[in-house]
Amino acid sequence: MQFARLDLNPRILAFASGIFSGLVFGIYWIPLRLMSDTGINGLWAVMVFNVTSFLLVIPMIFRQWSRIVPGRFRLHATACICGLGYVLYTGAFLYTEVVRVLVLFYLMPIWGFVLARVFIGETLTPVRLICMLLGLSGLMVICGVEQGIPFPANTGDWMALLSGVVWAGASLLILTDRHEPVGYGATFLFWGAAWSLLLAVLATGQGVLPAPSWTQLPQILTWMIPLAILVIIPAAFATLYAPSQLNPGIVGLLFMTEISVGTGTAAWLAGEPFGLKEITGVVLITLAGIAEPVTGMLKRKPDG
């Protein structure tokens, strides 16, 4: 008697990874806000999460030492760029409105599709153009279409826009390198910790960010370590696995689930508005995220 073998198609797994990453980072604000209430604010909270997550994967790094550390310049260069994009994105919230950060960062699919077209010759298909239109329409609905196109107006705006460009470029490097996702996940955690620490120190030194209070850190670690092991670290690896298999524009569209989840959880837990405008925007963004994979599955479906 033979049993059907479960075939985990890398492309399907990559789609699931992108969506999972968006779901996790859509609720990332919740533990950060809890930590903020204890006196560890902004990028310091992000730094604590990143450093803790990196320390937890050190045993894995030693097991994979030969494939991660020596002679892996491109691996570390790409992970460093990913970490920079992540810190630019989170740091942008210190200098501009949250809505503007989300809109400008999630222009990323445009840069992703364009970069893939220019550097690896991927076709900008009608489906991808529709995905881009749906995603941008959803963002504009949520953020208020009456405000017009959110051109960068200050430092935070430019940081948010640049973070999207950086992430698109890093995604393309990962796609063309095809290095082990484990290596990218581990080095991303390292560089994310390094960049967040650097930016937090600079922001505090400039008076933009208050110095943290570490008195409740031991209590925070009692719930943060399990959260990092079960949620944050898997999401970090998923964030890097998706672009190892998919066009960076598709990756950006899948990550848009972060906006849907973030909007919904903020309305549910923080009492932020979630009416017809938000629902319409979430639907459009969700359609943008699933249009390409659904179309691809329908094309591959055998006749009869």
Per-10-residue mean pLDDT, the chain, length 304 = 49 85 82 83 85 88 65 77 85 70 75 79 80 79 64 78 86 69 74 90 87 90 92 85 75 75 76 75 75 68 48
* Collapsed DSSP state (helix, strand, coil) of residue 164: helix
Apex 42 CA angle, 80 and 225, nearest 5: 75
The reply to whether 280 falls in a domain is yes
The closest alpha carbon to 247, from 190, 182, 296, 209, belongs to 296
Please indicate, yes or no, whether the overall pTM of this predicted structure exceeds 0.85. Answer: no
pLDDT in tens, 214-227: 998 999 999 999 99
Torsion of CA 26, 28, 32, 33, to 10 degrees: 30
The reply to whether 220 falls in a domain is yes
Q: Can you give the residue range of the structural domain that contains 102?
A: 15-295
CA 147, chain centre distance (Å): 26
pLDDT of residue 218: 92
The reply to whether 304 falls in a domain is no
**Residue 137 corresponds to which amino acid?**
S
- The DSSP secondary-structure symbol of 147 reads G
The reply to whether 145 falls in a domain is yes
The reply to whether 9 falls in a domain is no
Give the count of domains, the chain: 1
Take residue 91 and report the two structure tokens written for it.
Answer: 């740091």
pLDDT in tens, 239-262: 878 877 777 667 767 777 777 787
Rounded to 10 deg, the angle between the 155-177 and 233-245 helix axes is 60
pLDDT of residue 197: 93
Contact between 50 and 196 under an 8 Å Cβ cutoff? The reply is yes
The reply to whether 141 falls in a domain is yes
The reply to whether 84 falls in a domain is yes
The reply to whether 6 falls in a domain is no
